[in-house]
Amino acid sequence: MVTIHDVARAAGVSPATVSRVFNGGRVTPERALSVQRAAAALGFAPNRVARSLRKQRSSVIALIIPDIENPFFTSLARGVEDAAQRTSLSVVLCNSDEDTEKERRYLEIALGEQMAGVIVAAASQDETDLGPLIARGVPVVAVDRRPHDAEVDAVRVDNHHGGEVATRHLLEAGYHRIACITGPEGASTSEERLAGYRTALRSAPGSGVTVDDAYVRHADFRVEGGKAAMRELLALPEPPDAVFVANNLMTIGVLDALAEVGRTPPGVGVLSFGGVPWASLVRPSLTAVELPSYELGRAAAELLLQRMEGSAAPLQTVVLRTKLQVRESTAGPAED
């Protein structure tokens, strides 16, 4: 019986190219004609049932994100969907709630349903396990967060640089007791943004500012986590005069905690890593590190599509830069 490998040898192409020709993938007209001629000469007839199943598998990809209520991930999902729709792919959106067990079930479903590929923002750098998907040859792209030791393509922002620029801005605005509320310990985004904060403090020239872990709090990337962390910081003998908050939802909690004690920016500087739609509308308006969330999603989808089409290129990590948007919430500290 003539196989796909026989056709590939006769046409001088890879078996993956033959598969794409008979399954509607993107192939140059010249290669498609070469494959079709070789198949006709050899009397090759693709298995219609298997072809139908492959087409079913190739029509759906999974996007697993940790918090669908976060505007950052909502925008990221839109970027994935827009890129996927251009190639007639459908996107199944899965919300892990930062829960590794829930995330594991979604990964198992993606494997069991033979989805064509998976884009995942990992719930845990240490516990998210992409091994079963990789072992079965399912294309996977990690977006925003990348698990340890995962041999997959990745798209992320330069968190360290963003954290460093944000903290340096607070120093230059005249703040001296700068706190950092970051995300869960072990999460790549949490640790990278915290590292950028520390880098800026250590390199501050002649400011008298030191790195003091009493001003560092880990929270859960949620509103209540940010609020609780800010309450703890306000209870210190010398509360911070500014705070770098490592995500947008926690920033809402920080502002709420400050309002409880009658303190407001810019007397206490507040700078958010990640913007919110109303950042320019509140008073004082909110300084934020703006993230290219839509572009992250689009880039992740495009990278996944390349793998689905058979790309054998080395694994890639695409890094996108952030942008500091200075507004009123960091105009300078209150007089002591």
Q: What is the pLDDT of residue 66?
A: 92
d(CA 151, CA 130): 9
Strand partners, 218: 182
Residue whose pair of structure tokens reads 């950052």 in the numeric block: 72
- Point out the residues of the chain with pLDDT beneath 70: 1, 23-26, 45-58, 206-208, 335-336
Query: In terms of C-beta density within 10 A (0-12 exposed, 13-18 middle, 19 or more buried), how is residue 281 classed?
Result: exposed
Q: What is the pLDDT of residue 46?
A: 62
**pTM for the full model?**
0.77
Residue whose pair of structure tokens reads 């069991």 in the numeric block: 112
Q: What is the pLDDT of residue 296?
A: 97
Q: What is the pLDDT of residue 86?
A: 87
Closest CA to 210 of 243, 244, 176: 176
Radius of gyration of the chain from Cα atoms? 24
Residue whose pair of structure tokens reads 């492959």 in the numeric block: 54
Q: Which amino acid is at 240?
A: P
Q: What is the pLDDT of residue 51?
A: 46
Judged by DSSP in three states, 262 sits in coil
Q: What's the chain's average pLDDT?
A: 89
Q: Which amino acid is at 35?
A: V
Q: What is the pLDDT of residue 55?
A: 47
The answer to whether the CB of 152 falls within 8 A of the CB of 140 is yes
Residue-wise pLDDT tens digits, 257-281: 999 999 999 999 999 999 877 777 7
The answer to whether the CB of 97 falls within 8 A of the CB of 220 is no
Q: What is the pLDDT of residue 17?
A: 81
Residue whose pair of structure tokens reads 């058979």 in the numeric block: 310
Q: H helices of the chain, where? A: 4-11, 15-22, 29-42, 48-57, 71-85, 100-112, 131-135, 159-172, 188-202, 223-234, 248-260, 293-308
- Can you give the length of the chain in residues? 336
Q: What is the pLDDT of residue 53?
A: 43
In this structure, the dihedral spanned by the alpha carbons of residues 172, 192, 321 and 294, taken in order and rounded to 10 degrees, is: -120
DSSP state of 153: E
Token pair of 145, please?
């967060």
Q: What is the pLDDT of residue 147?
A: 84
Judged by DSSP in three states, 90 sits in strand
Residue whose pair of structure tokens reads 């919430």 in the numeric block: 329
Q: What is the pLDDT of residue 54?
A: 47
